[in-house]
Amino acid sequence: MKLTLISSFFLALSFATSAQKTIDKIAAQVGENVILLSEIQGQKIQAAQAGMELTPEMDCAILEELMYQNLLVNQAIIDSIDVSPEMIDAEMEQRLRVIENQIGSRQKMEEFYGKTVAQIKNEFRPIIGDQLRAQEMERQITSEITVTPRDVEAFYKLIPKDSIPLINSQLSFQQIVIYPEIGAAEKERARVRLNGLREEIIEGKPFSTAARINSDDPGSAAQGGEIRASKGMMVKPFEATVFSLKEGEVSQVVETEYGYHIIKLLKRLGDDYTCQHILIVPTFEDQAIEAAAIRLDSCYQLLQEGKISWEQAVEKYSNDEFTKLNRGIITNPTTGDQRWDAENLNQIDQQIYLLTQNMKEGDVSQPNLYTNMQERKQGVRIVRLMTRSKPHKANLLDDYTLIQRAAENEKKRTIINDWVTDKISSTYIRVNSPFLDCDFANPWLKR
């Protein structure tokens, strides 16, 4: 059994609100926690919106997953496992941002659900708290699980030959990146520009207009620089400034890791606040990017002539803090692995896909302009195709890490199922019709 965190549960908010008035009833109870029919229907809506086929068995599967989560929450309460308000608020804000990006803005999100952001937070904060407690409880149950090489080999041998998965072509990459240094003059220009904007705003220019025209923050500029957040969501210098302001007050220029800001506090209620900000990111001179390109071209020539090894080149030339100390190896941001599935590469990182689609193992690309989307900064880089495997059936030689992860998951599943069976016997469980005929994986029905 696997704990499913309902990261998109906001999509069923409208349905759940109306359904409780008409068809809602208790589907099951675990300890003191009840599971409503509307929760099951809400998850079915999410499944349908995700393109999944709805089957008659799905109701039973969803109910069992919800009972499992509630069993974890029940035990977490007994074991005094709790999560901090900051963790709950951080998870809440992350989910809100996902929905906000899908719908277009927080204002549109509020209009869609017929609720303010504060109301949505108040309604779902206990739900998210329970989900995080369940997640922590599950982590503690499986925290001591380890698999040895012998376990991995035994697990692989037990897989029927016709069930061994087919592995797509896998690739791994290395990079050398040079980000131009931003000098004192560029930083000062950003400060002067922001101070000028602040003076215009103090004299009466609408903050929202100045933000739409000038802000370098793509996430908030279109909304007039508006951000709604809770304590712990933003970087410390930004948040410290927010909590030092009075409502309606505009800050002095604030420096963060993203650049320079001016901030106007609109409203604060406890740890929740609404503010506007204008971000100016200092940009380097054209000569700086040109100098980086020339330096990296020299590196490329040395590599082509065999006068320097790849490892030596990474150490000497790269200033990318995330890959410099790891031979330049690029981690897949989706899986956290060092290998990338060829079929998904274009969706994950189109820049690498376009650079390497015709490369062979060991080939190195010529220097190219590079935009680091996560850190919003530009540089120059060369990429080396480290490995490219052919599609094949999973085997212990080429796919040990994948099989090891599967063996570990199987061991976790066994431990969790044993834990569930044990806890069911000592916990009050009630399942109501029409779920009494469900073929559950665990003995929820005490016949």
Is there a contact between 89 and 233 (Cβ–Cβ < 8 Å)?
yes
Q: Which residues contact 231 (CB under 8 A, 6 or more apart)?
A: 86, 89, 239, 243, 271, 272, 273
Question: At 293, is the secondary structure helix, strand, or coil?
Answer: helix
Return the SS3 of 173: strand
CATH 3.50.50.60 is right for the domain spanning 184-280: no
Q: Please give the helix or strand (H or E) that residue 126 lies within, else none.
A: helix 117-142
Q: Which of the four pLDDT bands, split at 50, 70 and 90, describes residue 177? A: very high
DSSP state string for 33-81: EEEEHHHHHHHHHHHHHTTPPP-TTHHHHHHHHHHHHHHHHHHHHHTT-
9-146+409-431 CATH fold: Triger factor/SurA peptide-binding fold (1.10.4030)
Assess contact for 320 and 179: CB atoms under 8 A. yes
pLDDT of 20 above 50: no
What does pTM read for this prediction?
Answer: 0.60
What is the DSSP-derived secondary structure letter of residue 222?
G
Amino acid at 3: L
CATH topology of domain 167-181+285-393: Chitinase A; domain 3 (3.10.50)
Cross-strand bridge partners of residue 267: 274
Closest CA to 89 of 343, 256, 270, 304: 270
Taking alpha carbons only, the member of 250, 241, 257, 143 closest to residue 194 is 250
Mean pLDDT of the chain: 86
Instruction: Report pLDDT for 82.
Output: 84
Percent of the chain with pLDDT over 70: 93
Q: What is the C-alpha separation between 383 and 310, in angstroms, rounded?
A: 11
- CB neighbour class for 112 (10 Å; exposed up to 12, middle 13-18, buried from 19): middle
What span, in angstroms and rounded, lies between the C-alpha atoms of 121 and 85?
A: 12
Per the rule left: phi > 0, alpha: psi between -120 and 50, beta: everything else, 420 is: alpha
Cα separation, 25 vs 63, whole angstroms: 13
Cα separation of the two ends of the chain: 21
Evaluate if residue 28 carries a pLDDT over 80: yes
Please check the confidence at residue 409 and state whether its pLDDT lies above 70: yes
Residue carrying structure tokens 């500029």: 221
Q: Give domain limits for the chain.
A: 9-146+409-431, 167-181+285-393, 184-280
What pLDDT is stored for residue 447 in this prediction? 58
* Phi, psi of 97, deg, nearest 5: -65, -35
Q: Residues 255-260: what's their mean pLDDT?
A: 90
Cα separation, 367 vs 298, whole angstroms: 10
Residue 12 pLDDT more than 60? no
CA separation (Å) from 356 to 227, 230, 320, 329? 38, 42, 20, 15
Residue 8 pLDDT grade (very low, low, confident, very high; cuts 50, 70, 90): very low
Q: What are phi and psi of 27, to 5 degrees?
A: -90, -35
| Common-topology check for domains 167-181+285-393 and 184-280 | yes
User: pLDDT of 125-152, one tens digit each?
Assistant: 888 999 999 999 999 999 989 999 999 9
CA quadruple 423, 428, 434, 438: dihedral, nearest 10: 20
CA distances in angstroms from 25 to 14, 20, 21, 431, listed in the order given: 17, 8, 10, 12
What pLDDT band is residue 11 in, cutting at 50, 70 and 90? Answer: very low
239 pLDDT above the threshold of 60? yes
| Other beta carbons less than 10 A from residue 316's beta carbon | 11
**What share of the chain in percent tops pLDDT 90?**
51
